Structure 1
Amino acid sequence: MMNLEQSRFNMVEQQVRTWNVLNQDILDLLYQIKREEFVPAAYRFMAFTDMEIPLEHDAVMLTPKMEARILQELNINKTDKILEVGTGTGYMTALLAKLGAHVYSVEIVPELHAMARINLQAHDITNITLEQGDAARGWPDHGPYDVIVLTASTPVLPEAFQQSLAPGGRLFAIVGEEPVMEAMLITCTTPGNYSSTRLFETCTAPFRNALQREQFHF
């Protein structure tokens, strides 16, 4: 147990804090929600490492510092209605649920959807709605949203996502193709108007059925 808590401390202090994540509420949350309990059993030894963890069907669990940085950039309020695209194992869902009012989370892979449901029930997190489906190009069903989080990359960001933002709403997305992608924060300034901020370069797995760039043929 001591080694487990030391590993968690090292993750927060050496990976997360050093990537300029200084919001104390988020740092505290990383101690509260036990990340290792959301990692597939075969990869539990990797729970605190600065690496993406492989999941079913080529999906990945983002690195701890990426998860924390996303939360900080979105500046989530207790009243926020949140859309998460890509539930994965439910870890990010749990973090979002602790910060916001309600999370609608959509997962295309049935096995991950089932795993996330079990994980979140085990942690008694109830302000969530888990749905199975393909939201790679939008999920307006419960919108508009105050916060939208895309947990995988997309070569092209569908307009449907920003159109699902409430005024003042924030969208985090990783846009582009290997080897270089950009993490973006898009804010709905007024209805129909948006501002975009490039946060940092990164690279991660794309959504299945993500919107692709148009191919030009000569």
Structure 2
Amino acid sequence: MKDTTRHQGKRRQLAKIVEEKGVTDTKVLAAIAKIPRHFFMDSSFEDHAYQDKAFPIAADQTISQPYTVGFQSELLQVKPGDSVLEIGTGSGYQTAVLCELGAKVYSIERQQKLYKKTKLFLNKIGYRPKYLSFGDGYKGLPEYAPFDSIVVTAGAPYVPKPLLSQLKIGGRLVIPVGDDPQIMTLFIRTTELQFEKKEFGEFRFVPLLEDKN
């Protein structure tokens, strides 16, 4: 896997595009400019890596559009040392962005093939989340809760209650809610029982799978 000056230049251009679309967090933009997104895709599709669009990966999943990754990451307001739960590891690209932001990342992937592949791959390129799990994202990770923030990287038909309950007071849940398209939604836990809710327009994600067993 080579990361050339051409790749680096394309990444800087990509970060600029994401910024022009409205993401202003300098740390998030720096992460997009730094992470070699072409590593996360099959080498035959390398030309697509630095376009601002989603792209298919294994197990009928996608690597999210960089703007979407940037937008969700900005809404999380990650501070170094924050514990962040990611629902849907996927290619690991969002995981890498969270690691670059200094988060302690806990991530759940529902597709076993993808989970095994991404776990090995992230290690290989030097990103070490605290904990990668194969399991049901709807349930979260109660044993590691509470979290400073939670990000869901797939479209959820409804907001899973376990995820809300696993937030710290002041914690933030960023989740695309609905069928197609989804509405990007932010929940901020204000007290033990109360949440502030904000909506940020339409996005498109693959569906968040539920464990029917």
Tell me the TM-score normalized by structure 1.
0.89
* Structure 1 partner of 2:208: 207
Tell me, yes or no, if the aligned pair for 2:59 and 2:114 is still in contact at 8 Å. Answer: no
Letter of the aligned partner of 1:97 in structure 2?
Answer: C
Tell me, yes or no, if the aligned pair for 1:97 and 1:128 is still in contact at 8 Å. Answer: no
Name the SS for the 2:178 alignment partner.
strand
Name the SS for the 1:153 alignment partner.
coil
* Structure 2 partner of 1:90: 92
Name the SS for the 1:95 alignment partner.
helix
Name the SS for the 2:187 alignment partner.
strand
More strand by share: 1
What root-mean-square deviation, in Å, do the aligned CA atoms of Structure 1 and Structure 2 show?
1.8
* Structure 2 partner of 1:64: 66
Letter of the aligned partner of 1:193 in structure 2?
Answer: Q
Query: Quick one: structure 1 residues 25 and 101, their matched pair in 2 at CA, closer, same or farther if it must change by over 3 Å?
Result: closer
The alpha carbon displacement at 1:38 in A equals 1.7
The alpha carbon displacement at 1:82 in A equals 0.8
Whole-angstrom distance in 2 between the partners of 1:185 and 1:209: 21
Q: What does 1:26-45 align with in structure 2 at a 5 Å threshold?
A: 26-45=28-47
CA displacement, residues 12-71 of structure 1 (integer Å, 9 cap, x when unaligned): 112x01121111111111122211112233432211112211122221111001101111
1:157 to 150, 159, 163: 159
Query: Quick one: structure 1 residues 60 and 175, their matched pair in 2 at CA, closer, same or farther if it must change by over 3 Å?
Result: same
* Structure 1 partner of 2:196: 195
Name the SS for the 2:155 alignment partner.
strand
Tell me, yes or no, if the aligned pair for 2:138 and 2:162 is still in contact at 8 Å. Answer: no
The alpha carbon displacement at 1:95 in A equals 1.2
Name the SS for the 1:166 alignment partner.
strand
Tell me, yes or no, if the aligned pair for 2:90 and 2:109 is still in contact at 8 Å. Answer: yes
The alpha carbon displacement at 1:92 in A equals 0.9
Letter of the aligned partner of 1:63 in structure 2?
Answer: Q
Identity %: 28
Name the SS for the 1:154 alignment partner.
coil
Query: Quick one: structure 1 residues 67 and 210, their matched pair in 2 at CA, closer, same or farther if it must change by over 3 Å?
Result: farther
* Structure 2 partner of 1:216: none
The alpha carbon displacement at 1:126 in A equals 2.7
* Structure 1 partner of 2:14: 11
Tell me, yes or no, if the aligned pair for 2:136 and 2:211 is still in contact at 8 Å. Answer: no
Name the SS for the 2:97 alignment partner.
helix
* Structure 1 partner of 2:173: 171
Whole-angstrom distance in 2 between the partners of 1:72 and 1:48: 20
Tell me, yes or no, if the aligned pair for 1:43 and 1:53 is still in contact at 8 Å. Answer: no
| Count of matched residue positions in the alignment of Structure 1 and Structure 2 | 209
